[in-house]
């Protein structure tokens, strides 16, 4: 099986379409979505419809849960709150119910999927570095766990009780190791690189790769501004921050 790992789409249709096109070329058999389909971007409904139609396996992100009120808006920045209020007016009640019911964690025979961390997933902790990873590694009963939330691609490896960061975008899975992988964000990257980011997990080859793809940032920015969403949400897309 070749999985496409997508996360933090955030209503950015331009970025999502380009990534899905790449996934088709790469012959991805199944999509795993680590949450935050909506929020920030101008096309939440379109993005949600697409990932549902493609039968992606989806866990809840903080924005997805905030839409229904399942997560309190006080968790968010002012721009984040404004985006949540706006998004609620652009999606159907059925969509809100769907996101409200998204689970926090999912597991299949090949990996685990969670938006924040496996410890306390409902608090959406940012797994930003090695110091935050031990609790998730301890709870992993599968060698591979995909996370999202930080919008920064990252690969952490645990081997013999030691955790270290893997530099580089490609990795071979070894039986003596465990892996936490953040594929980065499709719709709002924050690692200083504006290109949309996603992951490819090939279970036959036992490889994982993080890929970047160029999309029409200006079009996504224009739509955010025309929608009346906070301007910084448009500006940051060009910086990847
Ligand atoms: Fe996010």
pLDDT tens, residue by residue, 82-139: 999 999 999 999 999 999 999 999 999 999 999 999 999 999 999 999 999 999 999 9
Residue 73 has pLDDT above 90, yes or no: no
Q: What is the mean pLDDT of the chain?
A: 97
pLDDT (0 to 100) of residue 75: 87
Q: What is the mean pLDDT of residues 24-48?
A: 98
Between the CA of 7 and the centroid of ligand 1 the distance, in Å, is 8
Tell me, in angstroms, the distance from the centre of ligand 1 to residue 225's CA: 19
CATH number at residue 78: 3.60.21.10
Q: From ligand 1's centre to the CA of 84, what distance in Å?
A: 12
Amino acid 57: pLDDT: 98
pLDDT of residue 74: 87
pLDDT at 7 exceeding the cut of 90: yes
- Cα distance between residue 180 and residue 157, in whole Å: 7
Distances (CA, A) of 115 to 61, 141, 148, 195: 5, 17, 5, 21
Q: What percent of the chain has pLDDT over 90?
A: 98
pLDDT given at position 114? 98
The whole domain housing 174 covers 2-239
Nearest to 11 by CA among 237, 238, 240, 182: 237
**CA of residue 204 to ligand 1 center, whole Å:** 30
Q: What is the pLDDT of residue 9?
A: 98
In the reported structure, the alpha carbon of residue 184 is separated from the centroid of ligand 1 by a whole-number distance in angstroms of 10
Measured in Å, residue 176 CA sits from the centre of ligand 1 at 31
Residue 167 CA to ligand 1 centre (angstroms): 23
Ligand 1 center to 120 CA (angstroms): 17
Ligand 1 mean position, distance from CA 8 (Å): 5
Q: Is pLDDT at 164 greater than 90 in this prediction?
A: yes
Q: What's the gap in Å between 10 CA and the centre of ligand 1?
A: 7
pLDDT of residue 40: 97
Residue with tokens 């990847």: 240
Ligand 1 center–CA 61 separation, angstroms: 7
How far apart, in whole angstroms, are the C-alpha atoms of residue 43 and residue 85? 14
What six digits make up the tokens of 61? 């992100």
Q: Transcribe 203-234 into DSSP letters.
A: TTTTEEEEEEE---HHHHHHHHHHTT--HHHH
Cα-to-centroid distance, 38 and ligand 1 (Å): 8
- The alpha carbon of 36 and the centre of ligand 1 are apart by a number of angstroms equal to 5
CA of 162 to the centre of ligand 1 (A): 28
3-state class of 169 per DSSP?
coil
What would the mean pLDDT of 133-159 be, rounded to a whole number? 98
Question: In what order do the strands lie in the sheet containing 30-33?
Answer: 57-58, 30-33, 2-6, 196-202, 207-213, 170-172
Are 139 and 121 in contact, with CB atoms under 8 Å apart? no
Q: In total, how many domains does the chain have?
A: 1
Task: Give me the count of residues in the chain.
Answer: 241
DSSP 29-91: -EEEE-S--SSSSS-HHHHHHHHHHTT-EE---HHHHHHHTSS-GGGS-HHHHHHHHHHHTTS
Distance 157 CA to ligand 1 centre (A): 23
pLDDT digits (tens, 9 = 90+) for 172-201: 999 999 999 999 999 999 999 999 999 999
pLDDT tens digits, 212-226: 999 999 999 999 999
């Amino acid at each position: 099986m070749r999985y496409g790992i997508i996360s933090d789409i955030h209503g950015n249709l331009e970025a999502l379409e380009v990534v899905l096109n790449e996934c088709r070329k790469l012959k991805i058999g199944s999509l795993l979505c680590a949450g935050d389909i909506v929020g920030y971007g101008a096309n939440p409904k379109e993005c949600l419809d697409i990932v549902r139609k493609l039968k992606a396996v989806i866990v809840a992100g903080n924005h997805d849960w905030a839409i229904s009120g399942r997560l309190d808006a006080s968790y968010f920045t002012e721009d984040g709150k404004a985006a949540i209020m706006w998004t609620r007016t652009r999606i159907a009640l059925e969509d809100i119910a769907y996101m409200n019911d998204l689970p926090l964690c999912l597991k299949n025979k090949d990996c685990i999927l969670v938006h924040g961390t496996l410890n306390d997933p409902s608090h959406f902790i940012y797994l930003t570095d090695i110091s935050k990873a031990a609790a998730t590694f301890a709870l992993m009963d599968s060698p591979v766990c995909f996370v999202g939330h930080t919008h920064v691609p990252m690969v952490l490896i645990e081997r013999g009780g030691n955790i270290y960061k893997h530099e580089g975008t490609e990795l071979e899975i070894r039986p003596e190791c465990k892996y936490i992988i953040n594929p980065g964000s499709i719709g709002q990257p924050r690692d200083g690189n504006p290109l949309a980011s996603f992951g490819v997990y090939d279970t036959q080859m036992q490889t994982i790769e993080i890929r970047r793809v160029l999309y029409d940032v200006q079009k996504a920015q224009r739509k955010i501004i025309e929608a009346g969403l906070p301007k910084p949400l448009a500006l940051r897309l060009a910086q990847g921050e």
